[in-house]
Amino acid sequence: MSDKVDAIIIGAGVIGACTAYELAKLGYKTLSIDKLPQAGYGSTSGSCAIIRTYYSTNDSCALAYEGWHHWKDWSGYLGHKVAESDLIQYHNTGCLVAKTDLNHHLKKVCAVMDELGCPYEHVSAADMQSYLPGVDKRKFFPAKTIDDSEFGLPTGGDLDGAVFFPCGGYVNDPMQSAANVQTAAQAHGAQFKFNTQVSKILSAHGRVSGVELSDGTVVNAPVVINVAGPHSSVINKMAGVSDNMQMSTRALRHEVAHVDAPAAFDTVNRIVTSDSDVQVYTRPSSANGKGFLIGSEDPECDEREWVDDPDTYNPEFSAQWKTLVMRLAQRIPDLGVPDTAKGVVALYDVTEDWMPIYDKSDLPGFYMACGTSGNQYKNAPVAGKLMAALVQAEAAGQNHDEDPVKLVLENTQYTLSLDAYSRNRKINENSSFSVIG
């Protein structure tokens, strides 16, 4: 390991790995440091790894559609630097999203899709049966906890149908996706150091100068990028940049349930779903494609469990697991509720409006790709490009705070201004304030 590099990336999850990859391609000598044993071992491994294009804001839809182009040609994105046998599998199943009052019947999202040239098709309530055999089309909103006496009771009328987005699906192994990017980054000279903890962010002459590791080793660099996932708030405090940020990040405990699908689903193509009426999302399980992974869309009735110390949280399932399964069972009545809980318990790193921070900080040379958990996995390839563009622009003398960096997305030709992800932005009231982003 060198004692001086051009850029240090703290965190080797999928976004951290993509950031190292993009900088290495530009000729930066990078060092990625992670306290865990391998790339993608942390919150990336707990991701449902869903790839979708629908978000609640224009910029995020554009970011996601751009990202989809990289997942569908994963080997091409990696510069064909990874052996075919080691590549993750991306399953382009498409995504069915229920039209609800909460998402304004997807009118705004569809308008953005039109602007981006991203395909979609309207699905009537009657035709939802072809995607979800045995579907109950009745409305149940708002979501309730299972101890509520009115849980499972219809609240009036049927759904207005759904929208099917063919550009979407899921990755079979999110941790392996980070390992794929690590391999591609190393082909361009990037270095990775695991089982290593950063204990200090160093500065000199008014700018960042490197890091000190827990064993006392010092690594010097004029650029340090915080991509530490649920530990990002810890790193920001270490750098002394938290107090001057309008946005903050916190670790949030989340559960994802894994259950078998009813037999009728063996006859249909399995897809990703999002249903803000019962407030869960699903994707096919990666074990055999026949089960469901079920996640929460964070209804107001659910208590959010914030975690101050990301190294100590409860990894066991709670009543939330059964709640998720029962909520999906409202839409799919034949769904069984097993006695044994299976799935994932992990931490998300979220901001006040569930939109990420891709930005510089008040400490020159210290950058942040934070608040990304829950809805930014799919954007990782583009997030790496955003961070590389930001670092490169500032190195050339551009002040991002005064003159925001803009990037023309290569596949969609959408011009994205990075001030949308500023640490000092106002809360985006167009956000879903949930995992949907």
Per-residue pLDDT tens for 209-259? 999 999 999 999 999 999 999 999 999 999 999 999 999 999 999 999 999
Please give the pLDDT value at position 37: 97
Percentage with pLDDT > 70 across the chain: 99
Please give the pLDDT value at position 431: 85
Please give the pLDDT value at position 435: 83
**Distance in angstroms (rounded) separating the CA atoms of residues 161 and 284:** 21
The chain-wide mean pLDDT, for the chain, equals 95
pLDDT bin (cut points 50, 70, 90) of residue 56 is: confident
Q: Which of 233, 245, 242 is nearest to 370 (CA)?
A: 233
Determine phi and psi for 330, rounding to 5 degrees. -65, -40
Please give the pLDDT value at position 9: 98
pLDDT bin (cut points 50, 70, 90) of residue 288 is: low
Please give the pLDDT value at position 132: 97
**Distance in angstroms (rounded) separating the CA atoms of residues 273 and 280:** 8
Q: Which of 168, 173, 164 is nearest to 65 (CA)?
A: 168
Please give the pLDDT value at position 428: 85
Determine phi and psi for 384, rounding to 5 degrees. -60, -40
Q: Which of 65, 59, 285, 286 is nearest to 165 (CA)?
A: 65
**Distance in angstroms (rounded) separating the CA atoms of residues 31 and 131:** 46
pTM of the entire structure?
0.96
**Beta strands 207-213 and 162-165: pairing type?**
unpaired
* Domain 95-166+253-349 fold: D-Amino Acid Oxidase; Chain A, domain 2 (3.30.9)
The first and second tokens of residue 418, run together, are: 């990075």
**Distance in angstroms (rounded) separating the CA atoms of residues 258 and 385:** 33
Positive or negative, the CA dihedral 77, 81, 83, 86 is negative
Please give the pLDDT value at position 196: 97
Tens digits of residue pLDDT in 308-325: 999 999 999 999 999 999
**Distance in angstroms (rounded) separating the CA atoms of residues 146 and 319:** 9
> For residue 171, how far is the Cα from the chain centroid?
12
Q: Where are the domains of the chain?
A: 7-85+173-248+353-421, 95-166+253-349
Cβ contact 366:208 at 8 Å: yes
One-letter amino acid of 279:
Q
Please give the pLDDT value at position 287: 58
**Distance in angstroms (rounded) separating the CA atoms of residues 297 and 401:** 33
Please give the pLDDT value at position 289: 66
Tens digits of residue pLDDT in 123-140: 999 999 999 999 999 999
Q: What is the mean pLDDT of residues 19-38?
A: 98
Same topology, domains 7-85+173-248+353-421 and 95-166+253-349? Answer is no
Q: Which of 168, 175, 178, 381 is nearest to 283 (CA)?
A: 168
Spell out a b/e string for 385-398, using b for 16 or more CB atoms within 10 Å of the CB, else e.
bbbbbbbebbeeee
Q: What is the mean pLDDT of residues 329-351?
A: 95
Please give the pLDDT value at position 97: 98
| Whether pLDDT at 286 is above 80 | no
The first and second tokens of residue 111, run together, are: 């308008």
Q: Which of 245, 335, 242, 235 is nearest to 282 (CA)?
A: 335
7-85+173-248+353-421 classified as CATH 3.40.50.2300 = no
Please give the pLDDT value at position 1: 59
Please give the pLDDT value at position 343: 95
Tens digits of residue pLDDT in 174-189: 999 999 999 999 999 9
pLDDT bin (cut points 50, 70, 90) of residue 2 is: low
**Distance in angstroms (rounded) separating the CA atoms of residues 183 and 168:** 25
What separation in angstroms does the CA of 210 have from each of 52, 156, 389? Answer: 36, 59, 20
**Distance in angstroms (rounded) separating the CA atoms of residues 374 and 317:** 18
* First CA to last CA distance, the chain: 38
